Amino acid sequence: MQLSIIGTGYVGLVTGTCFAEVGHQVICVDNDANKVKMLQAGGIPIYEPGLEDLVQKNVAAGRLKFTSSTAEGVQNSDVVFIAVPTPPQVDGSVDLSYIERVARDIAAALTSYKIIVDKSTVPVKTGEKVAETIKRYCTSKVEFDVVSNPEFLREGFAVGDLMKPDRVVVGVASPRPAAAMREVYAPFNAPIIVTDINSAELIKHAANSFLALKISYINAIANVCEAAGANVQEVANGIGLDERIGRRFLNAGIGFGGSCFPKDLSAFIKIAEQIGYDFKLLKEVQRINADQMERFVKKITDTLWVLKDKKIGVLGLAFKQNTDDVRSSPAIDLCLRLAKDGAALRVYDPKAMEKARPLLPNATFVADMNAVAEGCDALVIATEWDEFKQIDLARAKKIMTAPIFFDGRNLFDPAEMEKLGWIYKSVGR
């Protein structure tokens, strides 16, 4: 099929590339001319495992093109996907101005029937607004259908999540666009759930909120474990093997972050409020998440007493492993919190150093994970990168002023660490 994707951020670029990979003809549109130039030259503006090779392969095969002209994208495709940012506003609601802008641009470019698919994460009822906007600004009498098709990609695993989705959600108002969307997704061999538009939009917010709830739940359990002398990982294993619960997203730590969960929770609470429901459960999920960071900082201050002029090594800056993304990163929040109390930070991340640098202007960025500990009073793990498990603990202990280790992601075994002579504190164990 002929497809266009408007917006080449994480979602748009991965979606467009994977659509090309399965044989569709794809035009990716972005209004940032420099980004388009970079993509045309085979570079990609983000770190996402496996993506660069796929982009280059599909550009070379002539299935993937980049342009800054919305009209070119729209006029050369049957289905137009909107994948532009929907950033949060101060009151928690979503800024839908990019979506509205694109809807107007599409309206101006429409010359024949198109299916317009919203892929950006939006509050329920946005599809109605998009349809209204296109109708209002389209001067010719062209037919179109609006579809909601939320994405469920995890950063760092986005290519795999798109190529092998566990489900595809398609919200439609009539059979014609449903048939076209089945054709778009046929090569992926995934279950396709066809719903009305409002339900599809709601599925996205409900899914992310549930996952965030799961994390806050296990963090709350971790706090009970600490008070009771139990081990949260064993509890998570014990409940997680119950298929109704599931083990994934039950890792306790310093809380969730990133560009999705915090924003989507706020947006869901806000839209629920606007349509008449006070979602107190999700407000508690937010509160537990914020509290989790405070509890971890307290662990550090209870041990180190005064943070002023203490040298602390922080491993991890990205909001989770396998990404260079530092947006709403708990690791960055932790660094800022420690720095505010006067600690001098030595920091390292396998991928996120460049993006973190402007956010932590006073920290020392160390290129080698094993050199972070040099002269430090304590080491802290803030992101769950697997490779931190390989840190040279013997060397770290030698080059630190005291063998103190705060593990915010429970990567090490407490008994082992104590045997090795560390004062070791983790979460819920």
The residue among 307 and 380 lying less far from ligand UGA, judged by its C-beta, is 380
Q: Is 250 near ligand UGA (CB under 6 A)?
A: yes
Count other Cβ atoms within 10 Å, centred on residue 109: 17
- Tokens 């666009």 map to which residue? 177
Residue 73-112 contact track with ligand UGA, rule CB under 6 A, x = bound: ----------------------------------------
The residue among 133 and 292 lying less far from ligand UGA, judged by its C-beta, is 292
Return the percent helix, strand and coil in the chain, to nearest 5. Answer: 45, 15, 40
- Integer Cα distance of 385 and 381 in angstroms: 9
- In the set 18, 138, 225, 260, the catalytic residue is 260
Spacing of C-alpha 302 from chain mean position: 32
The residue among 19 and 319 lying less far from ligand UGA, judged by its C-beta, is 319
Counting residues that bind ligand UGA (by CB under 6 A) gives: 22
Q: Is 217 near ligand UGA (CB under 6 A)?
A: no
Q: How far is the CB of 267 from ligand UGA (least distance, A)?
A: 11
Token couple for 276 = 């008449």
Q: Is 286 near ligand UGA (CB under 6 A)?
A: no
Query: Residues 26, 55: contact at Cβ < 8 Å?
Result: no
The residue among 264 and 377 lying less far from ligand UGA, judged by its C-beta, is 264
Asked about 260 being catalytic, the answer comes back as: yes
Choose, by CB under 6 A, the member of 270, 320, 327, 346 that binds ligand UGA. 320
State which amino acid sits at residue 67: T
What is the SS3 assignment for 28? strand
Residue 253-272 contact track with ligand UGA, rule CB under 6 A, x = bound: x--xxx-xx-----------
Q: Is 247 near ligand UGA (CB under 6 A)?
A: no
Helices (H), 341-426: 353-356, 393-399, 414-419
Q: N- to C-terminal Cα distance for the chain? A: 53
Judged by CB under 6 A, the chain residues 144 through 173 that form the site for ligand UGA are 151-155
Residue 325-344 contact track with ligand UGA, rule CB under 6 A, x = bound: -----x--------------
Q: How many residues does the chain have?
A: 429
- Integer Cα distance of 22 and 186 in angstroms: 9
| DSSP states along 48-90 | -TTHHHHHHHHHHTTSEEEES-HHHHHHT-SEEEE-----B-T
Stretch that binds ligand UGA, among 31-39, 207-215, 239-247, 269-277 (CB under 6 A): 207-215
Q: How far is the CB of 161 from ligand UGA (least distance, A)?
A: 7
User: What are the C-alpha distances in Å from 299 to residues 304, 306, 378, 425?
Assistant: 9, 12, 12, 8
The residue among 98 and 137 lying less far from ligand UGA, judged by its C-beta, is 98
Q: How far is the CB of 137 from ligand UGA (least distance, A)?
A: 28
Residue ranges that bind ligand UGA, judged by CB under 6 A: 121, 151-155, 208, 211, 215, 249-251, 253, 256-258, 260-261, 319-320, 330, 384
Active site residues: 260
